[in-house]
Amino acid sequence: MDVTAEPLTLLRERTSMKWRNYPGDVLPLFIAEMDYPLAEPIAEALHDAVRRSDTGYAAPANDLGEAFAGFAGNRWGWRVDPDQVASTTDVSVAIVETLRGLILPGDRVVITPPVYPPFFDLVAEAGGRVEPVPLLHGQTGWTLDLDALERVFLGGTRFILLCNPHNPIGHPHGIEDLIALAELAARHGVTVVSDEVHAPLTRAGAVFTPYLTVSPEAAEHGVCLTSASKAWNLAGLKCALIVTASERMRRVVTALPQEVSWRTSQFGLIAGVAAYRHGQPWLDGVLAALDANRGLLGDLLDAQLPGVPYSPPDAGFLAWLDLRSLGWGDDPSAAALERAKVALSPGPMFGTPGQGFARLNFACSPEVLSEAISRLAAAI
């Protein structure tokens, strides 16, 4: 089905962060919200819930596990046990609470910058200490730095918060890297917490591999955190999944305080079930629209900002732009906002490797994307 971004006049009626953070003359291409209309089956499920006044607490026995298992089986051939799916408020809460259930205060937790900025704070909120092991960027693209990971595991670090597919570079980690990580983790007694919220947005032709499927070791020591929030634009509804595939990790999740699952939002749950059960045609339409924008962005940069390297992401709607050639300093998003009235996410927030970079959200109309790049080019 065709999915098209809404026009700016309608979008500016939205009251979410994307549309309220900046004045009306700024094009907001920062936070990870999309400009497409809500998928019809989700809108219907929410309208139905309002009609029933079904606005109470989310039931602990619900359809989310079975709906996600159906989606994961269909999309990735991943056999998820619905009984090993728990829910909570959002992926951020899932990260904090899962880590809290795993670590002791002061334990080190690896993250792999440049990476989704809240990871730094979420590890700290759970009582851990961030151990950055930056990704490597070479001829063949982005990879985990397996040698550096082994060094920190040898040094006693026992936890890693993986981002797969990786925000901000839109890279689904390759299966060889994931298998190697699982081997290292098994050898050193490491637990892998894998944030897979961007996975449904993997482009046709690219491969996303769920961490828990890569080997029996990964299933044993891994836990997947995900949500329909990114792929179906439901962040405001608040519902995320904690998925396990072993008795050992199930015990970690069932030992979390009951409040963790009680804080799932009823509307988030209803929307998530509708997304996983009936949202695939809409998702495929969004993937087609994103694919067009991914190509358009490359063309626009070639024509108007030829010094800006860009690797089209294989998953998601975020482009990681190396703006160092513009001479706009460590945080080029500041100049982009001031001179071009384009709001981007500041690269340095993603960790030290983000200096001179900015992240651009292209889940918008081709017209908005073209206007944004023209504004940036004119501001140089």
Q: How far is the CB of 279 from ligand PLP (least distance, A)?
A: 16
Of residues 62, 87, 92, 202, which one binds ligand PLP by CB under 6 A?
92
32 binds ligand PLP (CB under 6 A): yes
90 binds ligand PLP (CB under 6 A): yes
Give CA 138 to chain center in angstroms.
23
- The SS3 call for residue 238 is coil
Of residues 240, 241, 243, 275, which one binds ligand PLP by CB under 6 A?
240
Nearest to 313 by CA among 305, 321, 302, 304: 321
235 binds ligand PLP (CB under 6 A): yes
- The SS3 call for residue 310 is coil
Cα separation, 320 vs 310, in Å, equals 7
Of residues 88, 98, 157, 167, which one binds ligand PLP by CB under 6 A?
167
Cα separation, 133 vs 160, in Å, equals 10
227 binds ligand PLP (CB under 6 A): yes
Cα separation, 253 vs 299, in Å, equals 46
- The SS3 call for residue 54 is coil
Give CA 283 to chain center in angstroms.
15
Of 84-92, 215-223, 287-295, 319-327, which part binds ligand PLP (CB under 6 A)? 84-92
- For residue 15, give both structure tokens: 């009251």
Pick out residues in 139-158 that bind ligand PLP (CB under 6 A): none
- Number of residues forming the site for ligand PLP (CB under 6 A): 14
Of residues 46, 197, 199, 243, which one binds ligand PLP by CB under 6 A?
197
Binding mask 115-134 for ligand PLP (x = CB under 6 A): -x------------------
229 binds ligand PLP (CB under 6 A): yes
> What percent helix, strand, coil does the chain show, rounded to 5?
45, 15, 40
91 binds ligand PLP (CB under 6 A): yes
For residue 18, count other CB atoms closer than 10 A to its CB.
22
264 binds ligand PLP (CB under 6 A): no
Of 100-108, 227-235, 269-277, 290-298, which part binds ligand PLP (CB under 6 A)? 227-235
**Complex with ligand PLP: residue 182 or 241, whichever CB lies closer:** 241
CB 194 within 8 A of CB 225: yes
Residue 225, beta-bridge partner list: 195, 242
Q: How far is the CB of 230 from ligand PLP (least distance, A)?
A: 6
Of 63-71, 86-94, 242-250, 253-261, which part binds ligand PLP (CB under 6 A)? 86-94
- The SS3 call for residue 270 is helix
Cα separation, 375 vs 378, in Å, equals 5
224 binds ligand PLP (CB under 6 A): no
List residues binding ligand PLP (CB under 6 A): 32, 90-92, 116, 163, 167, 195, 197, 227, 229-230, 235, 240
